[in-house]
Every structure is written in C-alpha cells, then in structure tokens.
Amino acid sequence: MARRKDTELWRMVRAELDWEPSLAEQHVELIVKDGTISLCGQVESYEQKRVAEEAVKRVSGVRAMAENLQVRRS
C-alpha cells in the first residue's frame, strides 16, 4: 500500500515542479519513501531552490522533505 501512495506522491510533486516556469530546465530529481520527498540535483540559483521547496510543500500528503539541491556556480 505504501508503494502506491509513494508513486502517487512522486507524480504529484513532479507535476508541481514541472508547472514552475523557473524550474523548467533544471535537473531536480525526486526520491519518495514513506511519504518523505527527497529533492536531489542542481539548480541555477537560491531562488530556484526556494521555489522547488515551496512546490513540494504545496502537495498534500507529503509527510517530510529532505532537500539536497546544489546551486550551480557559474
């Protein structure tokens, strides 16, 4: 049962991240386990990092978030 719920959460968070225009070309990956979302990958700015975090918080059913995003240096 938890696996199905995690799969559903993954889809919902992925859709929320994909909806954000500033994150369209970013490399943000998701790992979901027992309702906890882990954000991994790279973004271009601290603002994009914040936007990704806020997108996850908007999804109902997320129990916790681990943020492992790195900001690329130009």
The CATH number that applies at residue 31 is: 3.30.1340.30
pLDDT (tens digit per residue) in 48-70: 999 999 999 999 999 999 999 99
Closest CA to 11 of 49, 37, 43: 37
Q: Is the dihedral of CA 48, 55, 37, 23 positive or negative?
A: negative
Q: Tell me the residue range of the domain where 17 lies.
A: 2-71
Q: What is the pTM of this model?
A: 0.86
Q: What is the pLDDT of residue 26?
A: 74
Overall domain count for the chain? 1
What is the Cα–Cα distance from 46 to 2, expressed in whole angstroms? 32
